[in-house]
Structure 1
Amino acid sequence: MQTFFTLVVVVQVISALAIIALVLLQHGKGADMGASFGSGASGSLFGATGSSNFLSRSTGIAAAIFFAATLALGVFGGERKPAGGVMDNLPVTKVAPAVVQTPAPASAATASSAQPNQIPK
């Protein structure tokens, strides 16, 4: 299952990079004015209108693959057990609790004789 999950992540990253490249290759709406003054758009590799159709279709296919990979990651990612924290993998060491010794309470007779600096009134 981990191999399939990794494969879907790789497909998603490749499709995201393809979308970025294809969008950057396309001409914007303002590029038509420059083409009319002889910028060479009609002499391109795909012809006068072939590049926009090819790039648009390729971008759409890459986007469909990206969304399918995202959906697959959402479905399969929900079934995975959370990894936990860094402290979860530490070995457990048992430490004996510290023994706190409290002094025994003094009785009333020893408390009155324990105060030698009393001044009688």
Structure 2
Amino acid sequence: MYQALLIIYLIVSIVLIGFILIQQGKGANAGASFGGGASGTVFGSVGAGNFLTRTTALLATTFFIISLVIGNINAHRNNVKVDTFDNLSEVAEKAVSKPAEAPAVLEQQKNSDIPQ
């Protein structure tokens, strides 16, 4: 279900970007009355604005709802990752215990380097 939501989220976001880029600004209506060619569109001179506005609002609402659902799923996932900061006491104990072992390790390395 999570992967399906991610795919739907991606598709909705791409379509939403497309619909936002297709829309004309508020000042573009004045240019349409002087032969801008808007009356020859599929939706007519006024219909495209309503269709694009409503579709953009629907896609934006869907985008935000899916965002909230995906965020909720991620918040309640049980993927426990061990972080170094979560186990600082264990890391500190290992750091403290290693210097005590270091002279023995160095002694073994010195003995192994000496040719026999």
Normalised by the length of structure 2, the TM-score is 0.67
Q: Is the counterpart of residue 100 in structure 1 residue 106 in structure 2? A: no
State the AA in 1 paired with 2:40.
G
Over aligned residue pairs, what C-alpha RMSD do you find?
2.3
Cα offsets for 1:63-96 (capped at 9, x unmatched): 11111110111111111134637xxxxxxxxxxx
- Provide structure 1 residue ranges, at least 5 long, that are not aligned to the other structure: 86-96, 102-121
- Find the partner of 1:9 among 6, 20, 42: 6
Quickly say closer, same or farther: Cα 1:99–1:28, change in 2 above 3 A.
closer
Larger fraction in helix = 2
State the AA in 2 paired with 1:49.
V
Q: Report how far residue 100 of structure 1 moved.
A: 2.8
State the AA in 1 paired with 2:57.
G
Percent sequence identity is 36
Quickly say closer, same or farther: Cα 1:99–1:23, change in 2 above 3 A.
closer
Quickly say closer, same or farther: Cα 1:84–1:40, change in 2 above 3 A.
same
Normalised by the length of structure 1, the TM-score is 0.64
Q: Please, which moves more after superposition, 74-83 or 32-41?
A: 74-83
Number of corresponding residues: 89
Considering only CA atoms, is the larger Rg found in Structure 1 or Structure 2?
1
- State the partner residue of 2:25: 28
User: Which stretches of structure 1, 4 residues or longer, exceed 4 Å deviation after superposition?
Assistant: none
- Provide structure 2 residue ranges, at least 5 long, that are not aligned to the other structure: 83-99, 105-116
